[in-house]
Amino acid sequence: ILCMKINNNELYQLIAKLDWQLNMGAEAMVEEEHNNYFNMEKVKTKKGELSTSGISQEINNAYLQEDEKNKGKILQESFDKCLTLEDLKNCMLDFNGCDLKKTATQLVFSDGNPNSNVMVIGEAPGAEEDRQGKPFCGASGKLLDKMLASINLDRNTVYITNVIPWRPPGNRAPTENEISLMKPFLMKHIEIVSPKMLVAVGGSASKAILNIEGGILRYRGVWKEIRLSKSLVIPIISTLHPAYLLRAPNQKKLAWEDLKSIRSKLQELND
Ligand code: URA
């Protein structure tokens, strides 16, 4: 660029184009050529963040089990030993069963206040989230913050995570297999936080948690419940993903209906 003798305007345009390409995941396509996906040595985890906990090893081994019934039992027993968010984060840092880890920069675990009544669950990190290691910190995160602010919530009063903790290359949607692979971690995450309500943002999050079919416009705004144990039943509502609202702003009125419903439910639960 420096050799090209361009004016400031052209330079800003070039930077904006590069930024757009990064957000579309262009670098992931370049990286893919150089990555050997079968070389576990190259699996990226943040340096110094590998845990020494035996639980992670047990979970990794459980995923390698061929017998599905046995696998479920061993997984459950291993997850039962994860008692804190730190335990869970360490297990996810050490988990090698999902290929998305190899192309992502880092694990995107959560943001916000783990003692909140409201837990918001999105789909998967995008480019900015992958860079910062924090969910919903890019363009759709800014809209999510505005949506939350409209009902007096913010990152001190909600806890935010995603179904998938690693950015899918090129911002593609996570596959069903990736979602079912990571679902036990998500369910454990919900159990540890034990919020008073869940907000599933977008179709992927809703389908991962609730066994529902069809488009989100059919079931958004409707309260359902998930049972995690005999004593832990949590109300859940699905709403439209801010990335979708950025593309279809005329649908914001539907999201506003959902936000009002979340506000009323919170009042009801606090009374
Ligand atoms: N979209 C999501 O679903 N999650 C994020 O963290 C960012 C964008």
Q: What is the pLDDT of residue 152?
A: 97
Q: What is the pLDDT of residue 49?
A: 42
Q: What is the pLDDT of residue 238?
A: 98
Residue 256's pLDDT band (boundaries 50, 70, 90)? very high
Ligand 1 pocket, residue 112 CB under 6 Å: no
Q: What is the pLDDT of residue 25?
A: 52
Give the pTM: 0.80
Residue 57, phi then psi, degrees to nearest 5: -60, -40
Lookup result for tokens 């919903």: 136
Residue 22's pLDDT band (boundaries 50, 70, 90)? low
Ligand 1 pocket, residue 124 CB under 6 Å: yes
* 22 alpha carbon – ligand 1 mean position (Å): 16
Whether the pLDDT of residue 24 is over 70: the answer is: no
Ligand 1 pocket, residue 135 CB under 6 Å: yes
Q: What is the pLDDT of residue 216?
A: 95
**What distances in angstroms separate CA 81 from CA 54, 68, 85, one per listed residue?**
10, 20, 12
Q: What is the pLDDT of residue 264?
A: 97
Query: Percent of the chain at pLDDT above 90?
Result: 64
Of 90-104, 189-203, 249-263, least confident by mean pLDDT is: 90-104
Lookup result for tokens 């599905």: 68
Distance, CA of 79 to CA of 71 (rounded, Å): 12
Query: Percent of the chain at pLDDT above 70?
Result: 85
Q: In the 3-class helix/strand/coil scheme, how is 17-50 assigned residue by residue? A: HHHHHHHCCHHHHHHHHHCCCCCHHHCCCCCCCC
Query: Count of residues for the chain?
Result: 271
**Mean local confidence (pLDDT), 162-187:** 95
pLDDT tens per residue, range 106-138: 999 999 999 999 999 999 999 999 999 999 999
Q: What is the pLDDT of residue 176?
A: 92
For a pocket test of ligand 1, which of 110, 111, 129 has the largest count of ligand atoms closer than 8 A to its C-beta? 129
pLDDT tens per residue, range 56-99: 777 877 777 777 778 778 878 888 889 999 999 998 998 888 99
Q: What is the pLDDT of residue 5?
A: 72
Q: What is the pLDDT of residue 20?
A: 66
The neighbour count for residue 132, using CB atoms within 10 Å, is 16
Calculated CA dihedral for residues 211, 61, 90, 87, nearest 10 degrees:
70
* 135 alpha carbon – ligand 1 mean position (Å): 6
Residue 239, phi then psi, degrees to nearest 5: -135, 175
Instruction: Return the ligand 1 atom nearest residue 108 CA.
Output: 6
| Strand order, beta sheet including 233-239 | 111-112, 158-162, 118-122, 197-201, 233-239, 224-227
Ligand 1 pocket, residue 123 CB under 6 Å: yes
Distance, CA of 50 to CA of 42 (rounded, Å): 14
Q: What is the pLDDT of residue 165?
A: 98
Instruction: Return the ligand 1 atom nearest residue 201 CA.
Output: 3
The neighbour count for residue 195, using CB atoms within 10 Å, is 19
* 83 alpha carbon – ligand 1 mean position (Å): 26
**Mean local confidence (pLDDT), 2-16:** 75
Whether the pLDDT of residue 34 is over 70: the answer is: no
Distance, CA of 248 to CA of 268 (rounded, Å): 31
